[in-house]
Amino acid sequence: MKMGDFVTSMMETPMQSDARRTEEFTIRNGLCLIPGEGLVIADIQCSGGIIAAISRPAGTAKGGLDAAGRLVLPGVVDIHGDAFERQIMPRPRTLFPLDLALLETDRQLAANGITTAYHGITVSWEPGLRSLEQATRIIAALDALEHEFHVDHRLHIRWETFAVDEAHAVEALFARERKPLLAFNDHTSMSLSGTRKDIKLRGSAERAMVDMDTYRSLLDAAGERQDEVEATVHWLSQAARGNDVPMLSHDDCTAGMREAYRKLGVGIAEFPMNWETLEDAAASQDHIVLGSPNIVRGGSHNGAIGAEDAVRRSMCTILASDYYYPAPLAAALSLAARSVLPLEQAWDLVSGAPARASGLFDRGSIAEGKRADLIVLDEARRRPSAVIAAGRPVYASR
C-alpha cells in the first residue's frame, strides 16, 4: 500500500487504541535504522505488538505499508515532558477538563513520533496546577483514558523536596505495575533565597491560582519545613530503590549536590545548571538529560547550558521534549544533518538511551522481540509520514 492509499485507509477506518485494531502490520521497503548496521532497506513485520521479523525485502511481497524512499526509526521515548500542562491550563487560572486536555496531548504525541511519554507531573506544596490534589486527578484521568490513548503514557513524578507532607502519597505510587520515575526538584530554596527571578515567582503564583502576597506566605510556610527536607529525601529515595523506581535529580547547581544524590542511588542528572555539575555527572557516567528545544533553538531559553555544546563534548546522553513535543525528533535530525553525531547516535539520544535509563528494555531500537514502536519518516520534510505504536498505526500524513 502506497503512502497516499495508507493515509486514505486510515481516514476511512478510524484508529482505535484497543484490541479491535489490527494485531499484524508490515512496513515494507523502508530504510530502517538497525542497531550496529545503520540504515538498511528492510521489511518489518509486526505481530502482537512486537517486531516479529526483520527481513530483506521480497519483491513479490504485498500488503502493509510501502515505505520505499523513507526512513524507519524507533519511536521516541520522552523521559520528561510537561507540555501537557498547557493543555490543562492554557492561560493563567484557566483550567480545562482533563479528558479533553489529555486526549489532545495524546494526539500531539502521536503526530510527533513520541510513542512512550513520561509526563512530568509535579507534586508540590503549592495549590493549583502542581498540587498533590491536581496530580492525583491527572493520574486518575490518565488511568481512565488508557484504552483510548494511541501511545504509551507513563508517570514522571516531580516531587518538590519541601513538600514533606506529600511524600507518603508519592511513595504510594511506587506500587504501580508500570513503575513511575521519581525526580527530586527543589525550586523552593531559590525562591526563599531571593535568587529566583520575580517573573518566575509571578508565574508560580498564577499557576497556583493565588495572588503574590498569598503565594509568598505559602512559600514562607514551606520554608519552615527546611529541617525536615533532608531526612524526607533520604526516606523517599530508599523507598524508590526498594521498588526499582528510577530516580532523577533536577536542576543540580553544584557538583556536591549531584554527588549527594548519586550516593542515594539517583543515577539520572536532569538539566544540570552549569558546566562544573555537568562535568561531574559525565565523569561519573550518570545519565544526563538536557532539553531538545535547546538544540532546536540553538540555545537555552533561560541562559542555561547549551545542549549542543554538551552533546559535542559527550556530556549529554538523553534529550527530552521538556516543554515542546515536536522538539526531540527535530533535535535528533538536526544533530545528524549538521554532522554533530551520526544518525544512529543522534537518534539514540531520544529513543534508546531514555528507554534504558527508564528501565524500559523492551523498546528504543528496531530489533526482533522489541515493542513495535516505529516512525516512518519523510526525510525531506523532516516529519512523520506514519507512526506505529505497539504494532498499530496511530498516525498518518501525506
10-residue mean pLDDT profile of the chain (398 residues): values are: 59 45 83 96 96 86 84 98 97 96 98 98 98 98 98 98 98 97 95 83 94 96 97 98 98 96 98 96 98 92 86 98 98 97 98 98 98 95 95 92
> Distance (Å, rounded) from C-alpha 73 to C-alpha 378?
11
Grid cell digits, residue 49: 505488538
Q: In the prediction, which pLDDT does 198 show?
A: 82
Grid cell digits, residue 230: 533532608
The CATH number linked to 10 is 2.30.40.10
One domain for residues 305 and 376:
no
276 contacts: CB under 8 Å, gap ≥ 6: 254, 255
Does residue 223 contact residue 192 with C-beta atoms inside 8 Å?
yes
**Beta strand pairing status for 65-66 and 287-291?**
unpaired
> Distance (Å, rounded) from C-alpha 18 to C-alpha 22?
9
One domain for residues 68 and 119:
no
* Strands (E) located in 124-270: 152-160, 181-185, 247-250, 268-270
Give the alpha-carbon dihedral of 177, 324, 82, 146, to 10 degrees.
-40
**Beta strand pairing status for 38-47 and 50-55?**
antiparallel
**Beta strand pairing status for 50-55 and 383-389?**
unpaired
pTM for the model: 0.94
The CATH number linked to 155 is 3.20.20.140
Q: Which domain holds residue 49?
A: 3-74+365-396
Q: In the prediction, which pLDDT does 340 show?
A: 97
Q: In the prediction, which pLDDT does 21 show?
A: 47
One domain for residues 338 and 375:
no
Q: In the prediction, which pLDDT does 200 show?
A: 84
Grid cell digits, residue 143: 488511568
Q: In the prediction, which pLDDT does 58 show?
A: 75
Counting the structural domains of the chain, the total is 2
Query: Between helices 198-208 and 212-223, what is the axis angle to 10°?
Result: 100
Does residue 370 contact residue 379 with C-beta atoms inside 8 Å?
no
Kindly report the number of other CB atoms within 10 A of residue 218's CB atom. Answer: 18
One domain for residues 98 and 44:
no
One domain for residues 269 and 141:
yes
